[in-house]
Amino acid sequence: MFNELVIPSRTIMTPGPVESNPVALQAMSSRMLGQFDPAFLTIMNNVKEMIKIPFGTKNKQAFAVDGTSRSGLEAALIALIEPGDKVLIPAYGRFAYLLGEICERAKAEIKYLEKDWTGTFDQEDVIEAIKEFQPKVVAMIHGETANGQMQAIDKIGPFCRENDVFFMVDMVATYGGVPIHVDEWCVDIAVAGTQKCISVPSGLALVTYNDRVEAVLDARYQKELGLSKDDRNENHIASNYLDLSQLQRYWSDERINHHTEATNMIYGLHEGLRSIINEGMENVFARHAQNDEAIVAGIKAMGLGFYGDLETKMPTVTPVMIPEGVDGEAIRELLLEQFGVEIASSFGDLKGKVWRIGNMGYSSRHENVLHVLAALEAALIYYDAPINQGAAVKAALNVYKRSN
């Protein structure tokens, strides 16, 4: 009645999910361990330490939330926000509005600082807005996958710290692909995912936070009713499942029973992180930077344009203008069906105008870059688009050969 799984081979060059690291996939099929089995606790403890490395933090707290990236965003925001709290959200792309949506549901008073999606904010403008609005929390996206832009935050964070404002940053699209300095940038709570630059399947969110956030969580902690009738707290967090004050105690030596950990996702996370840590974070970043340079060179050589400011473009996403008269979705379909290559479209106003080529994690490899450029060129030729022929792959190869 139901057939076995059919999983065709794909070259995935989207901004996530990307191809998984085979060592992470292999680990995920390891046999089950009970969540309180000492062997599993060792794995959890290692994972905590490894999570911190791509975040660039010495925070005590770093662990996984058992849900996709946005579960971590929601957990982080509802940890800090109480109804009526003021949240400033500088928005230069789609995912700022996801933060806003979550804050709205948490009944915050929200102010958006908005700009067009072609670039990032001058940090001074954000600082001015903080001075004016005096929020409790500033929530920002570090790398916006919708337009491929990456916001500099090294001045915003220290300003927040000096003024006792909490600084929450979504690092889902940059974690493990570009250098991140949570401590140096004074980020109070940061969130990442698994399905992008660390190349583990989607299903876990990674969070890290400092003592300032931990103090808030301690003040809001409520032990679960099924475990104890004491420890009631009127100021508890709105969600049980996404309650970081409980999750922290589950991941600590206290090991309070909260959920049943997604053990096999944790196995995959362990190996995905270990793989890039062993590669060396500097080497990982250099690999992403080089492949980004090759993608940009190839797209330029084809005669296609880019969306937004190349100066502030994330190395992990390249937004490409769909040429006039070309049906972007027809090209994407041809790429997927005939070449087994996946690239992404975009959201909101950019839908139908922009393709997004990802360059993340295990997908960030020479052969993938060369394959996506060759396939895109061939697809454009097939649909009679006016492009420079024969130039893209050579331009990318020149980047690789020059670098060697």
- Give residues with Cβ within 8 angstroms of 17, minimum separation 6: 195, 196, 201, 202
Tokens of 111: 């102010």
Q: How far apart, in whole angstroms, are the C-alpha atoms of residue 145 and residue 343?
A: 13
Our CB check for its own copies shows the closer of 180 and 242 to be 242
Using CB under 8 A as the binding rule, whether residue 264 contacts its own copies is answered as yes
Question: Shortest Cβ distance from residue 38 to its own copies (Å)?
Answer: 8
* Span from 30-38, 291-299, 302-310, 370-378 in contact with its own copies (CB under 8 A): 30-38
- With H, G, I as helix, E, B as strand and everything else as coil, classify residue 87: strand
Using CB under 8 A as the binding rule, whether residue 144 contacts its own copies is answered as no
Tokens of 337: 């069906």
Identify residue 191 by its one-letter amino acid code: V
* Contact residue for its own copies among 27, 180, 247, 379 (CB under 8 A): 27
Per CB under 8 A, contacts with its own copies among 214-233 are 224-227
Our CB check for its own copies shows the closer of 229 and 402 to be 229
Our CB check for its own copies shows the closer of 49 and 124 to be 49
DSSP state of 339: I
8 Å CB contact between 226 and 388: no
Identify residue 320 by its one-letter amino acid code: V
Our CB check for its own copies shows the closer of 75 and 314 to be 75
Using CB under 8 A as the binding rule, whether residue 66 contacts its own copies is answered as yes
17 cis-preceded (ω within 30 degrees of 0): yes
* Span from 147-155, 180-188, 198-206, 375-383 in contact with its own copies (CB under 8 A): 198-206
Using CB under 8 A as the binding rule, whether residue 161 contacts its own copies is answered as no
Kind of pairing between the strands at 137-141 and 86-91? parallel
Question: Shortest Cβ distance from residue 35 to its own copies (Å)?
Answer: 7
Per CB under 8 A, contacts with its own copies among 83-142 are 94-98, 100-102, 104-106
Please name which of 298, 326, 314, 305 lies closest in space to residue 390, comparing C-alpha atoms. Answer: 298
Q: What string of DSSP letters covers 15-55? A: SSS-PPPHHHHHHHTSPP--TT-HHHHHHHHHHHHHHHHHH
Question: Shortest Cβ distance from residue 291 to its own copies (Å)?
Answer: 18
* Contact residue for its own copies among 270, 288, 313, 356 (CB under 8 A): 270
Bridge partners, residue 138, by sequence: 88, 167
Using CB under 8 A as the binding rule, whether residue 170 contacts its own copies is answered as no
* Span from 18-26, 117-125, 248-256, 381-389 in contact with its own copies (CB under 8 A): 18-26
Our CB check for its own copies shows the closer of 347 and 383 to be 347
Bridge partners, residue 335, by sequence: none
Using CB under 8 A as the binding rule, whether residue 197 contacts its own copies is answered as no
Query: Any long-range contacts for 280-289 (C-beta under 8 Å, 24+ apart)?
Result: 281/53, 281/54, 281/179, 284/176, 284/177, 284/197, 285/177, 285/178, 285/179, 287/364, 288/177, 288/178, 288/197, 288/315, 288/316, 288/359, 288/360, 288/364, 289/315
Query: How many residues in total does the chain contain?
Result: 404
Using CB under 8 A as the binding rule, whether residue 263 contacts its own copies is answered as yes
Using CB under 8 A as the binding rule, whether residue 235 contacts its own copies is answered as no
Bridge partners, residue 302, by sequence: none
Per CB under 8 A, contacts with its own copies among 273-302 are 273-274, 277-278
* Span from 1-9, 156-164, 183-191, 385-393 in contact with its own copies (CB under 8 A): 1-9
* Contact residue for its own copies among 178, 242, 299, 376 (CB under 8 A): 242
Our CB check for its own copies shows the closer of 237 and 385 to be 237
* Span from 254-262, 299-307, 315-323, 368-376 in contact with its own copies (CB under 8 A): 254-262
* Contact residue for its own copies among 56, 148, 157, 201 (CB under 8 A): 201
Per CB under 8 A, contacts with its own copies among 330-389 are 336, 342, 347-348
* Contact residue for its own copies among 50, 88, 160, 173 (CB under 8 A): 50
